[in-house]
Amino acid sequence: MVDNENPQQSFRSGYVSIVGRPNVGKSTLLNRILGQKIAITSPKPQTTRNRILGIHSFSGGQILFLDTPGIHAARGRLNKFMVDQALSACSEVDLVLFLVDADRRPGEGDDFILDVLRRGAAPVLLVLNKIDRIGKPALLPLIDTYAKKFPFQAIIPVSALKGDGIDELVAAVAARLPAGPSYYPSDMVTDLPERFIAAEMIREQVLRQTREEIPYGVAVTVETFEEKPERNLVVIGAVIHVERETHKRIIVGKGGATVRDIGRAARRDIEKLLDCRVFLEIFIRVDRNWTDSGRLLKEFGYE
């Protein structure tokens, strides 16, 4: 019999879902644990749309983290897809990390997620994120409030942004993994194709550099991804899809300034990812009401 509190007894591995409301820092937490950026982040809610696999290998084990979209009241086909991605990640995993914002009191959205977790079989750790924003006197009552709501296996305060408590969190996860194989090579951090991450990095810059009404009607696809190893170069052709002509004009910006800024910032991030030079060409296309089109949602990768 394997003692789940002794990670040294055998090689351990398992799937761990990271769930929570929008904007609680799930992607920031995943990137911090991996020590590398694979999930995009922004101050705007609903940044993450797809379920993202992050692979953390350590001596004696491997944790397969699933970063999920924020769980929210879904309206429209795209939002329903996002919430389905998150809710399905709560089933058939070995452990769930329920991430909450430490400087915000629990609300109806948190209670809804807890109801979902009660119906599952996986043990749950509560992760109180953004503790750098609050003092200890405010943290202790919050821990008590959540402890009365659900039988968490552990409650762990962290700051994903600053790195506080991350080692303790990873140790707590590793201690609760079942014995299992190494699913991926130890140097892999995700199973996502590079072109998918490149598209997400472009979308991240749209989120960061445009006004509030724009990002939710934006998708990015990479149509060409040509490697030229003799020149240490990758040539990428990407399309930013928008729902309205007015959105296209905003993304283009005066004299093309906004789209140039988006491309410049995205190219820097993609070069760090690929560790080579990148030539990035961006086009903007209007696909009216794509967020409610089954065909276009599938074409853009939201199945």
- Of 175, 204, 221, the one marking the end of a domain is 175
pLDDT tens per residue, range 224-263: 999 999 999 999 999 999 999 999 999 999 999 999 999 9
Residues 6+ apart with CB under 8 A from 138: 103
The number of distinct structural domains making up the chain is: 2
Per the domain annotation, does 189 fall within a domain?
no
121 & 218 share domain: no
Per the domain annotation, does 290 fall within a domain?
yes
List % helix, strand, coil for the chain (3-state, nearest 5).
40, 25, 35
Per the domain annotation, does 169 fall within a domain?
yes
pLDDT value for 73: 58
Please give the residue range of the domain that contains residue 122. 12-175
Percent with pLDDT over 90 in the chain = 66
pLDDT value for 64: 95
pLDDT value for 3: 35
Asked whether the predicted pLDDT for residue 92 surpasses 90, the reply is no
143 & 244 share domain: no
Cα separation values, 88 from 27, 38, 224, Å? 18, 21, 31
pLDDT value for 67: 87
pLDDT tens per residue, range 22-35: 889 999 999 999 99
166 & 83 share domain: yes
- Of 128, 147, 175, the one marking the end of a domain is 175
Mean pLDDT across the stretch 8-35?
90
222 & 170 share domain: no
Asked whether the predicted pLDDT for residue 213 surpasses 80, the reply is no
- More confident: 192 or 86: 192
Of 2-16, 76-90, 119-133, 289-303, where does mean pLDDT reach its minimum?
2-16
252 & 139 share domain: no
Three-class SS state of 19: strand
Asked whether the predicted pLDDT for residue 45 surpasses 50, the reply is yes
Name, of 16-30, 204-218, 220-234, the range with top average pLDDT: 220-234
Q: What CATH number corresponds to the domain at position 276?
A: 3.30.300.20
Asked whether the predicted pLDDT for residue 109 surpasses 90, the reply is no
Cβ atoms of 77 and 294 closer than 8 Å: yes
Neighbours of 292 (CB within 10 A): 12
139 & 253 share domain: no
Asked whether the predicted pLDDT for residue 82 surpasses 90, the reply is no
Per the domain annotation, does 65 fall within a domain?
yes
Per the domain annotation, does 145 fall within a domain?
yes
55 & 135 share domain: yes
pLDDT tens per residue, range 173-189: 999 999 999 999 999 99
Instruction: Look at residues 100, 113, 110, 92 and name the one whose alpha carbon lies nearest to residue 16.
Output: 92
- Of 129, 147, 175, the one marking the end of a domain is 175
The rounded distance, in Å, linking the Cα atoms of 285 and 240 is: 6
**Number of helices and strands in the chain (H, E):** 9, 9
The pTM of the full predicted model, rounded to 2 decimals, is 0.86
